[in-house]
Structure 1
Amino acid sequence: MAQRLAAWTQHTKRSALQDMLELTSGPEYISFGLGLPNAECFPAKQLAVSANEVLLRQSDPLQYAPPAEQLKRQIQLLMRKRGVECSTSQIFLTAGAQQGINLLVRLLLDPGKAVLAEEVTYTGFLQVLEPFQPRMMTVSTDPATGIDVEQVEQVLQTEERPACMYVIPSGHNPLSYTLSREKRQKLAQLAAEYEVPIIEDDPYGFLAYEDIEIPAIKSFQSDWVFYVGSFSKILAPGLRLGWIIANEEIIEKLSIVKEATDINTATLTQQIAANFLQKDEFANHLHHLRQEYRSRRNGMLDQLEAQLGEAGSWTIPSSGLFIWVRFPESINTMELFRESITTEKVTFFPGSVFAVNPSRMASSSIRLNFSFNNHDKIEEGITRLSRLVKRHL
């Protein structure tokens, strides 16, 4: 039967994310691998109240229904904090950001066509691309400053026009950088000039830890940027709620593609989220979330400095959930990972998992998540990691 499957499935593999979920289920492990929000920060009691109110009010939440206009109005207000003015007719609800990316790729990409992305990028995007077997156009990127915009322009000038460009401008996964305002403006300008759509993946845009928040790329270009947002990292991933912002004619096409996928986003979770958001409790929740994650980020940075010192270097993320750590090129972090799971029981993602093509920068780097564990586990986990690295050095 396996031989009868589509050709692209013959070479596909389980994602590293799936393997990591199984691997780190035991209590003996400390996981810095998956980009999980912290369950203690979920507004469970408030969501329970909202769920009770929604279900007692009427039975409609348990039925098929059109997208909740009430939720779209709340997203419209949220997007103003990202510098984006949009109408509710430009908001398309999805089952999380991952589905949003998937739907946009299906809408934009013909099999075998080109896609423009950074040399190191989110594995979930690469998974979405697999059935299309695209030609990858990659550009350089830097853990501190992000995507090389000048190189993007050179590619657009000289090569086959890509079907789309994929960018994670805030709290980049995995590199953790936040793109400057100037680079965002330039990317928006290039998208319009060369008529290449940008998929702006922004799950961490509301998790900014500095006083200055940089507007979304979408705020600089309404037509050629498709914004993808999510409640998974800022409310609760179990709700499976996200959204796309695009022009109305694109929304119409997206609705056709989505209907063939899952008919509609879960009515119940839409209404629970809308009920919660309209109570103005979300602002306090988000403020608390930022404070808590900033504290955990700082705790991990302090431990890296104390335990690893000059053995490596790392980013100081101004948003998101990750720290990108670079070691000397003599260290192969895939080998480091294999030894770590058997000896130190601390898990992380080797940088090579995120590399579109073999990359020297990625092969000696790792991605660490700081949101999931408390301070004690962060300290213990970095202590274990430090022992491992020093053995290899």
Structure 2
Amino acid sequence: MKDNLVIIHGGGPTAVLNCSLYGAIREAQQSGAVEHVYGAIGGTGGLLRENLLDFGTVPEEELERLPRTPATAIGTSRDALEAEDYARMADILAEKHIRYVLMNGGNGTMDACGKLAAACRGRGISVMGIPKTMDNDIAVTDHCPGFGSVARYMAGTVRELAVDVRSLPIHVVVLEALGRNAGWTTAASALAREQGGDGPHLIYPPERPFHEEEFLDEVKALYDRLGGVIVVASEGLHDEAGKPIVPPIFQTGRSTYFGDVSSHLAQMVVRRLGIKARSEKPGILARASIAWQSPVDAAEAEEAGRAACRAALAGETGKMVGFRRLSSAPYRCETFLIPIEEVMLGERVLPPEYLSAGGTDVTQEFVDWCRPLIGPELPHMARLL
């Protein structure tokens, strides 16, 4: 009897998470080495409840829709796991003849991946990690599946917003970007610019402390010169002491529900400067948009799923698939395997060379690094004035 394989999703969804799912399913099915390919319904909790979907029972047309479907078709979770949970999962895997486990997620999921790999040691079970996070904050890998699509969303949406503000330059617009401690998503808005002077005019990632008076001075100077100002600010902005500029609404474990930073900054502009201002907060719309899905991101996400499956079938365990950049122009990348200990709860933030000296913009080096990940050129906007 052949062995079985299970795929587990963890953490927040992305626009290409199902692409990795599709790649892993197809690679396992095509290998001829696997009897059943399962999906854990609702993450690690689904495995503990033995709630598994056999993809062999899913109609082909449904599987073929996966790459163009956002979020996760098998559900995900942020389960808080204890040592006994990992031991129980290892027992369940053995009982169900599941020899191969693919865990797809971000920092927390890679931590769980490493702990499950340790619990399965000596039992002939391979556990591999597939990277996933729109925050792009997993260590070691050049970038993560999920980021390219949210970067395309941010760049395209801010380009549209910039045209609107330029046509009626009477106010300041503050757009809030997702990202707790890493400003990759915030920084990606810089790719909206078509020429000098285009928005975003100010970019505030969480890697630099936020200074209220400097912000107001910058906004006032830009408003006096341009009339319309676009600010992109991270949800995780904090002051010099590391205190969030807006207290979190709710915190539990590693999960933080931030206050409304964009609204806070817009109200500050109105109160302190007497300038009309409004806030925009796409939130999870940014990670759920198939319309702005990057084809580069989708293809790499699928390959990450396939590569993890191939590695598991070859006997690898306790590793995560990563991406190594070979060239940015032309863009070329390859997958490689990273020991899971190097990425368990590690966090990769924007390096100093990607941030401008003043801390309110990014460098050309960042733009050159990010540009290939968002796919085809964004739509160019008419400019008559």
When you count helix as a share of all residues, which structure comes out higher? 1
Shorter chain as denominator, the TM-score bin is: under 0.3
When you count strand as a share of all residues, which structure comes out higher? 2
